[in-house]
């Protein structure tokens, strides 16, 4: 099963720095917890990649066509094909009071915004802080352990994956859809109605589908608000007075006579 540019694949990977074996990215929740990378609310699952679209690091993207489905592959990426060499000119000292004025209490390794750029704090001294504006992985050789879990072949598989890519918080497959006369009709699940950023996600889904499936001319979304089922009311029964016994009736007759 050959892989080509434009192919839809789903991958699992763990990425680490070769020199230190430090893991900096992974699709595995178990690995994220083990390596103290886990973030509450983050979605850890195999990732959709359209080969050649730049959805992963370019050097990794370029190597995907040489891989086989279900076979673990190690990809080593030198610094010049990753984040480049470290530039000493991008390291500078700034007054501590400038960070404190922004309610930032500097700590070693912290990422902060300074003058509109992100930097890593490399040292904290008496009244001065050393900021490194190089990318955190600059000067590093990276190693990706990758497994292609699946190659998506059908339009239905691709549409499902494109929808899930934009709405990862919703369980995959919850969005039902149909394709008729080059129009995709998507039924929104109720849990997606109030999802933060759902309008942007819907626009992204529509653009993705029309880009990768050019025969699709329109994408429609339907939101159906269903009424809660009414509770059945208990049947009303007329209360009847208990019938008098034959003895009671006889006593009443005798009393009247």
For residue 242, pLDDT over 70 is answered with no
Distance of CA 178 to the CA centre of its chain: 23
* Residue appearing with tokens 């983050």: 42
User: Quick one: tokens of 190?
Assistant: 């109720």
For 15-55, write each residue's pLDDT tens digit. 999 999 999 999 999 999 999 999 999 999 999 999 999 99
Q: Estimate the crossing angle of helix 198-212 against helix 155-166, to 10 degrees.
A: 150
For 123-165, write each residue's pLDDT tens digit. 999 899 999 999 999 999 999 999 999 999 999 999 999 999 9
DSSP state at residue 213: S
**Distance (Å, rounded) from C-alpha 145 to C-alpha 164?**
24
For residue 236, pLDDT over 90 is answered with no
For residue 192, pLDDT over 50 is answered with yes
1-85+137-152 is classed CATH 3.10.50.40: yes
- Position 257 confidence tier, pLDDT thresholds 50, 70, 90: very low
**Distance (Å, rounded) from C-alpha 252 to C-alpha 236?**
33
User: Which fold, 154-225?
Assistant: Alpha-Beta Plaits (3.30.70)
Q: What is the mean pLDDT of residues 226-252?
A: 64
Q: Where are the domains of the chain?
A: 1-85+137-152, 88-132, 154-225
Distance of CA 201 to the CA centre of its chain: 12
Q: What is the mean pLDDT of residues 104-129?
A: 95
Query: What is the architecture, at CATH level 2, of domain 88-132?
Result: Beta Barrel (2.40)
Q: Quick one: pLDDT at residue 23?
A: 98
For 86-102, write each residue's pLDDT tens digit. 999 999 999 999 999 99
104 Cβ neighbours under 8 A, 6+ residues apart: 112
134 Cβ neighbours under 8 A, 6+ residues apart: 86, 87, 90, 91, 120
Q: What is the mean pLDDT of residues 212-233?
A: 89
């Amino acid at each position: 099963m050959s892989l080509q540019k434009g192919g839809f694949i789903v991958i699992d990977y763990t990425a680490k720095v070769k020199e230190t074996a430090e893991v900096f990215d992974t699709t595995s929740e178990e690995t994220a917890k083990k390596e103290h990378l886990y973030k509450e609310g983050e979605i850890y699952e195999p990732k959709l990649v359209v080969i050649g679209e730049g959805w992963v690091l370019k050097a990794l993207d370029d190597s995907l066509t040489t891989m086989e489905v279900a076979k673990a592959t190690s990809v080593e990426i030198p610094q010049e094909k990753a984040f480049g060499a470290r530039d000493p000119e991008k390291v500078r000292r700034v007054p501590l009071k400038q960070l404190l004025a922004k309610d930032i209490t500097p700590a070693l390794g912290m990422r902060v915004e300074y003058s509109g750029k992100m930097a890593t704090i490399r040292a904290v001294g008496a009244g001065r802080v050393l900021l490194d504006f190089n990318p955190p992985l600059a000067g590093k050789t990276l190693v990706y352990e990758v497994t292609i879990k699946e190659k998506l072949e059908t339009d239905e598989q691709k549409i499902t994956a494109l929808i899930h890519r934009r709405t990862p918080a919703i369980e995959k497959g919850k969005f039902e859809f149909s394709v008729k006369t080059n129009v995709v009709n998507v039924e929104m699940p109720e849990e997606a109605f109030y999802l933060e950023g759902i309008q942007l996600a819907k626009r992204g889904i529509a653009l993705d589908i029309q880009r990768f499936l050019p025969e699709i001319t329109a994408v429609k979304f339907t939101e159906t608000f269903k009424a809660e089922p009414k509770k059945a009311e208990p049947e009303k029964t007329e209360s009847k007075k208990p019938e008098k016994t034959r003895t009671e009736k006889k006593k009443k007759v005798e009393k009247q006579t």
